[in-house]
Amino acid sequence: MSRWTPTDAAFGQARSENVQQQGPGSAILWQVRETELDWHICSRARLSRDPRFDGKFFIGVHGSGVYCRPICPAPTAKEKNCRYFATAAGAAEAGYRPCLRCRPECAPGTPAWLGTSATVARALRLIEERGLEDDGIEGLAERLGVGSRHLRRLFLRHLGAPPVAVAQTRRVHFAKKLIDETNLPMTQIAIAAGYGSVRRFNAEIAKVYHRTPTQIRTNARSSKSLPENEYMFLLRFRPPFDWKGMLALLRVAATPGVEAIDEQAYRRTISIQGKHGHVHVSLDESGLALRVRICFGEPRALFQIVERVRRIFDLNADWAVIVQTLGSDPLLAPALKAAPGLRMPGCWDGFEFAVRTLLVRVKDPETRALAGRVVQAFGRPVAGADGLTHVFPDAHALAKADLGNVGVSPDCACAVRALASAVSDGRITFEGIVDSEGFLARLRALTGMDEWTAQYISMRALGEPDAFPADRRNLPIGFENVAALKQHAECWRPWRAYAALYLACKQRGGTPATRSPVSEISKDTGEAARGAPERRKTGRAVQSSAYVTNP
């Protein structure tokens, strides 16, 4: 995008709910830094209103002084009156306010990679986990191993806004979403969105939207009345999105009693800071969003819950960019064409997923039953619905649990207790990971897990798009060993995790939804056990044969 200089020209204002009554000759001053955006591409995307570009950039419009999503239904503005921004925070820093028609707060999340430096990507992930609120800009920079001034320069260069502005934009967008989509009192919305006081919340909303919170709610589409402590959110994504395939992948590793997955929806129990609830996720009728129903008694946890749901379903992924890298390889092209929009499934909690992965053993094809027994014995019962009976046991409970009583092998029980003790003592945490390689090295030393298991946890629990769990049992035709496959996989960076996902689909002979994942995991683990006796003698806590059906 070319550099734009400040202007004091007055522009006529269109009739819109975004426009405020202002005197004639009012002007908007702005200055946009150079970014990676190509305004020719942005212009074509804006004119087409293609939902695949939703959330990838934002449009500042001079006449109304608002910034919009590429799919905004408002009358199309002239090109000379439009400016393009890589992020909503960049548009806000330039002096634009959010559009009340297309609601930028509802746009799919910005991909964490953004074509930026690794430092910015890691910083965005920490800001997602409220790292900036806990430690401030100095603490955030220290965790990233850079100076605060350098971090600010990187954000301005790549995102067009400093870290504080990015966090503030996220906060005000979530507050707006709560105003529009829930019936929470304004005092609780202020707390849930992370504002220290109602006065600060009111001032920020008025500053950004030129309206009070009450006025915004009055003009918003009426939200359906829900029972107490229940909330409904629409989380949008960029198409295509293989919903059936995602459910099939999540069903493979579902823990009985904690998760329940059918052909239409995903349900699970949740626990945050000792409070329990459950979530229900289904595909919206529009096909462009997930409908999330949250039942939880603490409103201030809503932001964290929503972000975790986004990670489980990989809603921030940009399929167009991923397929551009992977689609040129003949090895992956057929699978990509057969199952467009397959996302990398995440997890609710890193510790829970690591324990669940440690329980995947070659000798025990009934892994789901084993995980269910662990939950029944050591998890906390809850009054759930539709097969949800327990929350997953926390680290403190598993650190002292006698897992042998429920059929867990001594080696696996030792690994689980070691991990649980480290998490309980604070020696290891699955949140705010900056150095994923160092974290995985500590995890392997602690539990004795192999490289495949560590890479699988990195892919699912840490959300690393370049993790690559590879094993000799699932080598594609034409590769003699894992080293040859890894060498070939260099051309798939930084999307090797998605490549691993599609390799697994290709070897199963179709998409995840075309065959029964549960039956396949039993068959494949049994075959692996018969074909690899030397691996059974190693005493490893985790084996890697589940890659074939559980990528």
pLDDT digits (tens, 9 = 90+) for 518-543: 333 333 433 333 333 333 333 333 34
CATH of domain 1-103: 3.40.10.10
3-state secondary structure of 444: helix
CATH of domain 232-548: 1.10.340.30
**Whole-number Å distance between alpha carbons of 464 and 346:** 10
Output phi, psi for 268, to 5 deg. -160, 155
CATH 3.40.10.10 in the chain, residue ranges: 1-103
Task: Quote the tokens at residue 480.
Answer: 């003699």
Q: Which of 169, 163, 134 is nearest to 150 (CA)?
A: 163
In this structure, the number of other CB atoms found within 10 A of the CB of residue 148 comes to: 17
Alpha helices in 36-192 (DSSP H): 39-48, 88-93, 118-128, 131-144, 148-158, 163-181, 186-192
Distance of CA 334 to the CA centre of its chain: 27
Angle of CA points 503, 506, 508, to nearest 5°: 110
Q: List, as own/partner pairs, every contact residues 183-190 make where C-beta atoms lie below 8 angstroms and the sequence separation is at least 24, other chains included.
A: 183/223, 183/225, 183/226, 184/231, 184/299, 186/213, 186/214, 188/299, 189/213, 189/299
Q: Please list the residues that pair with 261 across neighbouring strands.
A: 266
Three-state SS string across 217-231, please? HHHCCCCCCCCCCEE
On the CB side of 536, CA atoms within 13 Å amount to 12
CATH class of 118-219: mainly alpha
In the chain, DSSP finds a helix count (H) and a strand count (E) of 23, 11
Q: Which of 315, 308, 411, 316 is nearest to 353 (CA)?
A: 308
- The residue assigned the tokens 């998490």 is 423
Q: What stretches in the chain show pLDDT beneath 50? A: 1-35, 112-115, 362-363, 513-551
CATH 1.10.10.60 in the chain, residue ranges: 118-219
CATH 1.10.340.30 in the chain, residue ranges: 232-548
- Residue 25 is predicted with a pLDDT of 30
Alpha helices in 491-547 (DSSP H): 496-507, 517-531, 533-536
